[in-house]
Amino acid sequence: MDFKYFKGPNADMSDLLDNKTNCSICGKIDYCFELDFAITKEFDQEEKEGKLGCYSCLREGKFEFWHDTEFGMLDEDGLTKVYNHNMNNPPAIAAEILTEMMRTPRIVTWQQELWLTHCNDFMIYKGTWEPKDFYSNSKDNDGRNLFIEMTNEDLSHLWDESLAEGQNTLTEWYPTYYVFQCRHCNTLRGNWDCD
């Protein structure tokens, strides 16, 4: 499955079944998503439960996913500010970009995903990182510095808080950290979602 904005592992795709099965929309056997929380005109609200939709049907827009993004909450009505983390005045985003995003799977998260943005576009979801990934991806082996660069100030306390007393190198932490990369300037950003 190829997505423009989702380059993480399939295991990180929300509502995706592990094995190929029959699509409730087109009947083909392929990897399918559960439609319970999807946006679709194929089924009435009460019919959606237990129905499945395949990759091709998603890409053709037979069903779509809403996303919570920094630009706003994205659904069939476009972008709306619902939460504090949604921008007050988001840039104008082309309709085809919004459509592409809605035909992108949601991320498996503990709470609710927050899709990060950069250069007036949605970022590409890359997967989850543990502390060791910050060391291996930093140019100077300064994992903490890369983490601080990538993480908004209100979440950046995680690194130092996770260090045990007297420990300098961080080996593990408790939350899941989601990594995104800008399609235009390659900037890395990330967030984590449990308190």
Binding site for Zn ion (CB under 5 A): 23, 25-26, 54, 57, 118-119, 182, 184-185, 187
Which letter does DSSP use for residue 16 in this model?
A: B
Q: Which is nearer to Zn ion, 51 or 170 (CB)?
A: 51
Beta bridge partners of 34: 52
Determine the residue type at 169.
Answer: T
- Tokens standing for 143? 């994992």
CA dihedral (186, 100, 43, 86) positive or negative: positive
Q: Which is nearer to Zn ion, 11 or 119 (CB)?
A: 119
Nearer Cβ to Zn ion (62/67)? 62
Q: At its nearest, how many Å lie between Zn ion and the CB of residue 77?
A: 25
Nearer residue to Zn ion within complex by CB, 62 or 131: 62
> Which residue from 77, 155, 64 is spatially nearest to 116, judged by alpha carbons?
155
Shortest Cβ 149–Zn ion spacing (Å): 13
CB of 56 to Zn ion, least distance (A): 5
Q: Which is nearer to Zn ion, 23 or 101 (CB)?
A: 23
- Structure token pair of residue 194: 């449990």
**Least CB distance to Zn ion at residue 91 (A):** 12
Structural element, H or E, at residue 102: helix 95-102
Shortest CB 164 distance to Zn ion, Å:
35
Quick check: helix, strand or coil at residue 131?
Answer: helix
| Min separation Cβ 21 and Zn ion, Å | 11
Q: How many helices (H) and strands (E) does the chain have?
A: 5, 14
Taking the least distance from each CB to Zn ion, the nearer of 59 and 85 is: 59
